[in-house]
Structure 1
Amino acid sequence: MQVKKYLVLVVLFILPIVAYLFFASGVTNFGKLSVLSKGVSDVVHMDGDASFKDNITVVGFLGNHPDNKNGNAFNLNQKIYKRFYQFKDFQFVMVMPKGTEEKAANLKKELGLLVDMKKWNFVFGDEQQIRDFFGSLDTDLQLESDLSTPYAFIIDKELNLRGRTEDGEEATLYGFDATSVSELNNKMVDDVKIILAEYRMALKKNSANRQK
């Protein structure tokens, strides 16, 4: 009986506090996630069924040979997507060249053995479309010759690129290196928490104002 009593207390009191700290810790440490670029192009003009509007989106570029980028995709899937995909306004969008549709389907099937892939989307464009879209991010990074990059980016619901501005000796962080598990764990996880918390706090505030 005593054990059951403690379990009930944990469920009723401890878990809600842990859930709160999950979001609040990031907000306390960093405040709002900085807007680095405004007016990022949407991907609705590319082949596929995805849009950034009204979604918090992690964007990646896997290039003409996504099978060579399986490690990047796996890291993002395990460290970021798997952790946050159940939030209804969160999604992944991978921008890929036309002609890689079959490779993308195979990758999605492989990653789907680990988690539900319903929020992992692919869009396909020609080289100019992909380069134009990447240019709209307005970063200090460049696409590789195969139209890939190891970096993943966070786009908010208003089509702004979010990240970290220059802080001390660290340069502005436009994207997160998917080859680095430590960068995903130590930086990107926190930043996704912050932006999710930001929107949820705004939603609660708006709801409270309407009830007054």
Structure 2
Amino acid sequence: MKIVDVAEQSIDDAVIGLNSEDVQLNFQLPGAENARMKEILNFRALAKNATIMPRHQNIVDVLGVSLEDVPYFIYQEYIEYGTLKDFLMRNYQESSGGSSKRDTPDHEKTLHLTMFAADICEGMLFLKRQNCHHPGLAARKVLLSPSGRCKLYDFWPVDLAQERVKQILDKKLPPLAWLAPETVFLGHFMEKSDIWNFGVVLWEIYSLGMAHNNHFGSILCKVL
């Protein structure tokens, strides 16, 4: 098993798709002495929650955690096919010549897209049963296994989800077009906010990876 040290990364810059045979490092607490105590406690709670969560076919498997010394780590399985968004754009969007990049019959393509949507729905239902939210849900936050199975990552326990929302909104260019109105304007996140995000992901899937209302998101960034 190969373990990759990315000591300069932050939680928000989680490493996906590292060149590792067995494992990828998905989350890491921001560096050592400068880490705020609240971040440390939140990350420990996140890691402990990850270790007790049952396995599910639509959730990225957690292989282990390291909480002995800062920086802390959560080790997750390596998903070699990358994100769903990249897959859709690479295989299904039209090339400059006007034809699809992948010669797939329309009925087969529709079946694939519906299976992706069903996988994500199953994953979100599982997270609900585990008292978790997924504030950052988007096609770019869904990983694709070699068998074509969609797997979710970067979800948070309900009592920590609000902290994750704050991290997202504090970005220089937050993904506002993916967030529910109550999250954008009030900073609140709830179960219905997850449903909104899932609806946006469905839009991404059936538009073959196109950015959802990106112009609207840019306008909101300027207004806020």
- Which protein has the bigger strand share? 1
TM-score range, shorter chain: under 0.3
TM-score (norm 1): 0.27
